[in-house]
Amino acid sequence: MIDFPWGPGTATGVGSYPGDDPEETLRVVLGEVPELPHLPELPARGPGADMIGRSAGLLVDMPVHLEPSGWRFSDRPGRDTVRTHDHLARDLDVLEEVAGTHDGPFKLQVCGPWTLAATVELRHGDRAIKDPGAVRDLAASLAEGVAAHVADVRRRLPAARILLQLDEPALPAALAGTVPTASGFGRLRAIEDPVAEDVLRRTIETVCAGDAAFPLVHCCARNVPFGLLRRAGAKALSVDLRHLPRRDDDTVGETIDAGVGLFLGAVPATDAALPPLRATAEPVRELWRRFGFPPARLARQVVVTPACGLAGASPRYVREALKRSRDVARMLYEAALE
């Protein structure tokens, strides 16, 4: 069993939130999921605060700018780069001011190399994922930039244990060969599993060297490649509970048996009338029962989350979703003690 940095009965958020006030949002996170808070992302602030632009801003010596079609590599940094860096600098200053004394686990989120490569365009317009050399350069640059980002956060939160979440929603499409070309009329060649695994492993090893951070990978798409992610070094996987069909039972069971943590998205990520608490918790318990693992292990190995980021939710619902995640986690923990 992996030595998890969180305690039993823990809940957290995935990453994004509505609004444009980083201090107010961080205080909501700290108040609603204090056992495992995280740095909020606020894409409503505009370009550079979105997942792709925010992570592309961490690239070392690979500047990007915004085109009508999306983010594209540039010859030199421009105003889009400056805006991206300003957003992140503001977030980190707020983090240090509001949570500088936090002494438990704390999660950061960045876009993973494959999703970034499947989204950012080369200078001539094709997606970076089309060019193996560009992917290698992007992944190395991202790893260097994220390692510096993690080091900066560790300096600002000296008593915290950092978890790093790599967001890879496009990885299943990259493996299946369904990533669209820049024109949208074609599909790019599928990435072979060993290649995808190697790039992810190198990224994780660089960023998390010396126990700098606990690595987890988030993928809210269908067909999550559990085995590949585990072999690449992910110590926890974050998934949408609705996207775990029984045909995946073998790979999910192997993941649990290997002691890998599971961040299970059990609460809707957009405004919804939530059912009774037990109805929200039951799919998590049912999944666990299918594999025959003891309930006490569930409470230790599983972290409860919303199904994905909450950027599309109302501020009122954000609090409800986080509270429901925390209440489900607590219910599962208490049931394990019986």
Question: So what's the pLDDT on residue 245?
Answer: 76
The string of pLDDT tens digits covering residues 65-107 is 999 889 999 989 889 999 999 999 999 999 999 999 999 999 9
Token look-up 């050399």 returns 133
Distance CA 170, CA 225 (A): 11
User: Among 8-17, 42-51, 237-246, which stretch is predicted with the lowest mean pLDDT?
Assistant: 237-246
Q: Is the pLDDT of residue 2 over 80?
A: no
The string of pLDDT tens digits covering residues 256-292 is 999 999 999 999 999 999 999 999 999 999 999 888 8
Total residue length of the chain = 338
The string of pLDDT tens digits covering residues 108-147 is 999 999 999 999 999 988 899 999 999 999 999 999 999 9
Confidence band, pLDDT 50/70/90 cuts, at residue 1? low
Determine what percent of the chain is predicted with pLDDT higher than 70.
99
| 58 within 8 A of 45, measured Cβ to Cβ | no
Question: So what's the pLDDT on residue 148?
Answer: 97
The string of pLDDT tens digits covering residues 294-322 is 888 999 999 999 999 999 999 999 999 99
Closest Cα partner for 84 from 149, 18, 1? 149
Distance CA 72, CA 120 (A): 5
Question: So what's the pLDDT on residue 244?
Answer: 85
Residue ranges with strand state E in 153-279? 161-167, 214-219, 236-240, 261-267
How many Å is the Cα radius of gyration of the chain? 19
| 244 within 8 A of 252, measured Cβ to Cβ | yes
Distance CA 107, CA 261 (A): 14
The string of pLDDT tens digits covering residues 155-169 is 999 999 999 999 999
Question: So what's the pLDDT on residue 338?
Answer: 67
The string of pLDDT tens digits covering residues 209-251 is 999 999 999 999 989 999 999 999 999 999 999 988 778 788 8
* 330 three-class SS: helix
